Chain A
Amino acid sequence: MASYLPLILRNILRNRRRTGFTMASVAVSICLVGVLFALTRALFFGGEATPGQAKRVVVHHKIALTQDLPAVYEQTIQKIPGVRAVTSLQWFGGTYKDPGDPKNRFAQFAIEPKTLFEVYPEFHISQSQREAFVSQKTACVASRALAEKLGWKPGERITLVGGMLRATLELTLAGIFDPPPSDASPVLYFNRDYLRDSLLPGDPRRDAVQQFYVETDNKDAVSEINRQIDDAFAESSYPTKSEPEEAFMLSFVSFLGNLKLFLAAICGAVTFTLLLITTNMLSMSVRERTREVGILKTLGFSDGEILGMVVGEASLIAVAGGLVGCILAGGLCTAIASAMRSAPGFVSVVRGLSFSPLVAALTVCLALLIGFVSSIAPGLYAARTSIVQTLQYNG
């Protein structure tokens, strides 16, 4: 087959415009499929869990995220073997300055200052700032994105007026931390105890948290730890659900509706269309060269060899187009990921959109498959036409 490569190549280059446009068509469609594959992977298969994420577990109320859990659960969780650090998370949702300005809206959580950075070792913060955060009750830390957005420097006084929780907090920015580049959301963390003190003694929400973030020793123990946590509270009035962090993030994807179906349908449609288009191109091209096929057969080429050449030509065009499509897809994925870096909420998982080697390989395989399948009909036609028929062909 390889010896026919020069012949195949010359055929491909014979009508450069048609080959070019066919390849372009393939490239664009493959690019689309590639991006969809990457999206599916990011949304449904966790994309790339960072090593830090792999060891972290999120514990929340079994029924809904918005339901409260007692703060005392922390002590029980701490005692489970394999748990290195636990921090509770209480969502505050206060108003900062004028809430009409979108940049003044950001996530605020009350946490345990001591354990925050143990649970999130990837958060980088200077030692002195970390210590300041731990030692001052009214201290808070902000992510770099938030600090930059609002022009905060350490020492900044930040007032948050509570909504659902009736408290007004006067905080001082003790430090700014750098989360890993894939997570650029603006967020503020402050001290649980300060919130607790600010709420009236009779307020039942004093000891209520929404989540616990647990750092484990190693990722293989995660499912066992999850089971133990949930078992511990299964019978209480506040049952829990513990899951690895990536799974937790992904559960928000269901918010986008029946996305799986949507994506699958589109992938199917695109692949189908591409198949049609490529088969069409090839058929036209083969039909045009019917005469030539006849001559080749007269010279002694067998039906099988003719078929092989047609398939070879199609595969080459498809793979070439596929490779270009992969490059385009990679670029598009990076573009989408960075465009989504500061997107709120659930769409954040798209931040992790990457065109990994696995997805690239899958995409190229699809291209090859399409080239192959689309060449069968025209190839068989060319192989089976009798010599006499081809010589009578008048275009």
Chain B
Amino acid sequence: MTVPFSYNIRNLVVRKTTTLMTAMGIALSVAILVASLALVNGLRTVFANTANPLQLLVLRKGSHAELGSTVPTEDFAIVRSKPGIAADRSGQPLTSQELVNVANLPSLDNPKGMNITVRGLSPVGIEMRKVRLVAGRWFQPGQREVVVGEAVAHRYPSARIAHRIRFGKGDWKIVGVMDGGQSALNSEIWGDFNQISAEYNQQDSSSSVLLRATDPVSLDALKHSIEDDPRLNASTITESDYYHGQTASGAPLEFLGILVSVIMAIGSAFATTNIMYAAVARRAKEIGTLKTLGFSDGSILLSFLSESVLLAALAGVLGCLIALPLNWVTTGVGSMVSFSEIAFRFHVSIAALFSGIIFAVVLGAVGGALPARAAAKKEILSALREA
């Protein structure tokens, strides 16, 4: 009971230039939307990959970041002896004392310098994380040596293996490059805990303590045990929550991206309305003929509406294709928690692509609604008489 779809498809094809130009506008709006979603997805992926669900971060009470927190060395001993902590192969509890600070090096994006997280940790800390060495070797205790994450090696020209970089009070030699998978660890510089603490005059304390629980029940128990312990002045947060919270760093960019794509969509919707009105005017005689043949007002409306929706959907696909190559682009964003850059890859997920198409379809429907209605309401005789 409807006007055949081929009618609409062919009309779009016949007016190639117009169709293409309008489609470009919609496609770009969709591309920007998908890019923004991909940005946030990418960040989320990186942070999800960094966290181990059984690991708990111990910070000073009231601190929300490793950077502002201090945990005295005496407290470390207390934490270490608590039950429920997983052990390494030699039976030692998996607890790591870590000192976190920030170095500033010129990067490809920011020649004036960008902050990088510097982490002092001991071998047990390395063991507790999913990293592997891809070049060189680990730093030796007592030496001013560091290992950099892969993203640091790529994005900071001075941070190549065997080179020296400057932070704290002096120079450090890069002896290795590590790969932490798609995680925030790739954006860090690691060194020996004692060396780093001395560098920042924090010999008798650390920023945080990382520990691994044996199972989720123990994790919960440890959380309470540490927070309620009157000897300690500590708060805890699971690694998952800690990193999850950092995805907010991408919020300003996501906001901007969505704002821009919505505004562009409004502009494109106006354009769609315009060309559909022109189409309705141009095909007035056809509308009259179709109605004479017996097609109802409703089927005419549906036909023209589906034409604009089809146009928009195709444009949506085009937009997705434009945004797709971003999937292989790496960039960095400053985390407001660690005060340093986190490198990540855009992640164009299926959900993002889907959202893009839906966005386009809605745009097409909104833009094409008024003209479709106008087409449906045309009187047969006046339509037939239009030039």
- Which residue of A18, A29, A64, A205 has the most chain B CB atoms within 10 A of its CB atom? A64
Q: Among residues 80 to 136 in chain B, which have CB atoms less than 8 Å away from a CB atom of chain A?
A: 101-104, 109-110, 112-115
With contacts A163-B70, A258-B331 taken as known, whether A63 is within 8 angstroms of B103 at the C-beta atoms is yes
Contact A395 B263 (CB under 8 A): no
Query: Contact at A273–B264, with CB atoms within 8 Å?
Result: yes
Given contacts A277-B271, A345-B336, contact A163 B282 (CB under 8 A): no
Instruction: List the B side residues contacting A274 at CB < 8 Å.
Output: 267
Contact of A63 among B63, B167, B268, B332 (CB under 8 A): B167
Q: Are B109 and A257 in contact (CB under 8 A)?
A: yes
Contact B102 A66 (CB under 8 A): yes
Q: Which of A65, A67, A93 contacts B68 (CB under 8 A)? A: A93
Decide if B104 touches A63 in the complex (CB within 8 Å). yes
Q: Across the interface, do B114 and A254 meet the contact criterion of CB distance under 8 Å?
A: yes
A145 contacts chain B at the CB level, 8 A cutoff: no
Q: A95 touching B61 by the CB < 8 A rule?
A: yes
Give chain B residues whose Cβ lies under 8 Å from the Cβ of A9: none
Q: Say whether B112 contacts A251, CB under 8 Å.
A: yes
- A24 contacts the other chain (Cβ, under 8 Å)? yes
Binds B, one of A122-130, A191-199, A262-270: A262-270
Judge if B208 is at the interface, Cβ distance under 8 Å.
Answer: no
- Residue from the list B32, B103, B274 in contact with A18, Cβ < 8 A: B274
- Interface segment, one of B21-29, B50-58, B183-191, B211-219: B21-29
Q: What chain B residues lie within 8 Å of A380 (beta carbons)?
A: none
Among A150-158, A171-179, A279-287, A353-361, the one that faces the other chain is A279-287
**Shortest beta-carbon distance, B120 to chain A, in Å?**
15
Contact residues in A for B358 (Cβ distance below 8 Å): none
- Which of chain B's residues has its CB closest to A36's CB? B260
> With an 8 A cutoff between CB atoms, is B69 at the interface?
yes
Contact of A29 among B24, B61, B256, B264 (CB under 8 A): B264
- List A residues 83-138 near B (Cβ within 8 Å): 93-95, 99
Contact A257 B68 (CB under 8 A): no
In the bound complex, residues from chain A placing their C-beta under 8 Å from that of B12 are none
The answer to whether B260 and A266 have CB atoms under 8 Å apart is yes
Question: In whole angstroms, how far apart are the Cα atoms of A346 and B252 in the complex?
Answer: 10
Interface centre among B32, B67, B263, by most chain A C-beta atoms within 10 angstroms, is: B263
Beta-carbon contact of B63 and A284 below 8 Å: no
Instruction: Indicate whether B18 reaches chain A with its CB closer than 8 angstroms.
Output: yes
Flag whether B201 is at the interface (Cβ < 8 A).
Answer: yes
Contact, CB under 8 Å: A32 / B277: no
- Name A277's contact: one of B166, B168, B260, B267 (CB within 8 Å): B267
Contact residues, A249-301 vs B (CB, 8 A): 251, 254-259, 262, 266, 269-270, 272-274, 276-277, 279-281, 283-284
- Would B282 and A395 count as touching, CB distance under 8 A? yes
Please tell me the number of chain B residues within 8 Å of chain A, measured between CB atoms: 58
Contacting A at CB under 8 A, from B262-306, are 263-264, 266-268, 270-271, 273-275, 277-278, 282
For residue A260, which residue of chain B has the nearest CB? B109
The answer to the question of B387 belonging to the interface, with a C-beta cut-off of 8 Å to chain A, is: yes
Q: Which residue of A is nearest B274, CB measured?
A: A21
Any A CB within 8 A of the CB of B339? yes
Contacts of A259 in B (CB 8 A): 253
Q: A277-B271, A280-B21, A284-B278 are in contact. Are A164 and B266 (CB under 8 A)?
A: no
Judge whether A28 and B270 touch: CB under 8 Å: yes
Closest to A278 in B: B271
| CB <8 Å contact, B282 and A21 | no
A82 to chain B: closest CB distance in Å? 25
- Are A204 and B201 within 8 A (Cβ)? yes
- The closest CB in chain B to the CB of A63 belongs to B104
Interface residue ranges of A1-56 to B (CB < 8 Å):
17-18, 21-22, 24-25, 28-29, 31-32, 36
**Contact (Cβ within 8 A) B21 A163:** no
Tell whether, in the assembled complex, residue A163 and residue B60 are in contact, meaning their CB atoms are under 8 Å apart: yes
Which of A31, A66, A259 has the most B CB atoms < 10 Å from its CB? A66
- For residue B162, CB closer than 8 A to chain A, the reply is no
- B62 located at the interface, meaning its Cβ lies under 8 Å from any Cβ of chain A in the complex: yes
Chain B residues contacting A280 (CB-CB under 8 Å) are 17-18, 21-22, 271, 275
Task: Give the complex CA separation of A25 and B252 in angstroms.
Answer: 26
Indicate if the CB atoms of B278 and A18 lie closer than 8 Å. yes
Task: Enumerate chain B residues within 8 angstroms of A279, measured Cβ to Cβ.
Answer: 21
A94: chain B residues at CB < 8 Å are 62
The reply to whether the CB of A161 lies closer than 8 angstroms to some CB of chain B is yes
CB of B333 within 8 A of chain A?
Answer: yes
Residues on B with C-beta less than 8 A from A18 are 274, 277-278
Contacts of B167 in A (CB 8 A): 63-64
- CB neighbours (8 Å) of A273 from chain B are 24-25, 28, 264, 267-268
Q: Is A237 an interface residue (CB 8 A)?
A: yes
Question: For the complex, what is the distance from the CA of A94 to the CA of B266, rounded to whole Å?
Answer: 47
Chain A residue numbers with a CB within 8 Å of B70 are 163-164, 166
> A344 CA to B64 CA in the complex, in Å?
15
In contact, B109 and A17 (Cβ under 8 angstroms)? no
Given contacts A64-B115, A266-B32, contact A95 B62 (CB under 8 A): yes
B333 close to A256 (CB less than 8 A): yes
Residues of A within 8 A of B31 (CB): 269
The verdict on B334 contacting chain A, using a C-beta distance below 8 Å, is yes
User: Does chain B have a CB within 8 A of A376?
Assistant: no
Q: Which residues of B are in contact with A by a Cβ distance under 8 Å? A: 17-18, 21-22, 24-25, 28, 31-32, 60-64, 67-70, 101-104, 109-110, 112-115, 166-169, 201, 252-253, 256, 260, 263-264, 266-268, 270-271, 273-275, 277-278, 282, 331-334, 336, 339, 341, 387
- Given A256-B333, A274-B267, A280-B18, output 5 extra A-B contacts at Cβ < 8 Å: A22-B270, A166-B70, A269-B264, A284-B275, A346-B336
Closest 3 CB pairs of A and B: A255-B334, A95-B62, A28-B267
- Taking Cβ atoms with an 8 Å cutoff, the residues of A that contact B are 17-18, 21-22, 24-25, 28-29, 31-32, 36, 63-67, 93-95, 99, 161, 163-164, 166, 204-205, 237, 251, 254-259, 262, 266, 269-270, 272-274, 276-277, 279-281, 283-284, 344-347, 395
- 12 example contacts (A-B, Cβ-Cβ < 8 A) are as follows A22-B270, A28-B264, A164-B69, A164-B70, A166-B70, A204-B201, A257-B253, A257-B334, A269-B264, A276-B21, A277-B271, A346-B336
